[in-house]
Amino acid sequence: MGISAVVLTQNCASTLAATLESLSFCDEIIVIDDHSTDDSGAIAKKYDAVVYTRSLDGDFAAQRNFGLAKATHDWVLFIDSDEVVSQALAHEIREAIQSVDVKGFYVKRRDILWGTPMVHGETADVRLLRLAKKGSGKWTRPVHEVWNVTGVVGTLEHPLDHTPHPSVADFLSDINHYSTINAAHFYKSGVRVTVWQIIGYPIAKFIRNYVIKRGYKDGTPGIIVALMMSFHSFLTRSKLWHLQKQQA
């Protein structure tokens, strides 16, 4: 069984090499580049990746489905350009795809922020369906996208290492970008928001992350993540409210 790895990237030259290096166990590497202005494209070619330049246009699911269509092997593995597959996970993936009954696999993701592994908070519970047989499903939602795979789905044991947000400024920039796409998706889906939800959701998000999920045990990065995710909730609903007002 062959594996096609699909990597989405835009201006990720600082992390892309490590990502592609970790995918050497795959039979094909496809990079979908959203018009990078740094050395991302050149780095991808050094690793013999097939590179396609395609505008994201605020739709991550469409970008992933494009990569899915370009994959030529039986199994497809989606990896972001700030993620690394360990040797243990690579071996597990190679073993897992021998199954004749399973159509896909969830992969645990371990966030490492500024040198600190995040073992509490909502990020510690992340499970992403990133490995599946080609033709078993399509990606949906423009952001926080989901691969809807039909059939039996398992879970791999070894985690995927994720090093997002090189700085707090990058974290803020990402939150601003994703919340804009998320608010537009909610609005198109008919979701509407009240002022109490704008206030209440961020407060509940912080309590869940920092207290219930024990984010405080991750030290300073833990409180930063809890506050940032709360702010993400606030921005999404504030932007949704603004869209409502514009269309009223």
Q: How many CB atoms sit inside 10 A of residue 145's CB?
A: 18
Q: Give the pLDDT of residue 222.
A: 96
Q: What CATH number does the domain located at 3-162 have?
A: 3.90.550.10
Question: Going residue by residue through the chain (248 aa), what tens digit of pLDDT does each one get?
Answer: 899 999 999 999 999 999 999 999 999 999 999 999 999 999 999 999 999 999 999 999 999 999 999 999 999 999 999 999 999 999 999 999 998 889 999 999 999 999 999 999 998 889 999 999 999 999 999 999 999 999 999 999 999 999 999 999 999 999 999 999 999 999 999 999 999 999 999 999 999 999 999 999 999 999 999 999 999 999 999 999 999 999 86
As a whole number of angstroms, the distance between CA 151 and CA 69 comes to 19
What residues have CB less than 8 Å from 220, skipping those under 6 apart? none
**Distances in Å between the alpha carbon of 60 and those of 67, 143, 160?**
11, 6, 20
Q: Give the pLDDT of residue 1.
A: 82
236: tokens are 């999404």
What residues have CB less than 8 Å from 170, skipping those under 6 apart? none
Q: Give the pLDDT of residue 247.
A: 83
CATH 3.90.550.10-classified regions of the chain: 3-162
41: tokens are 């494209």
Q: Give the pLDDT of residue 100.
A: 81
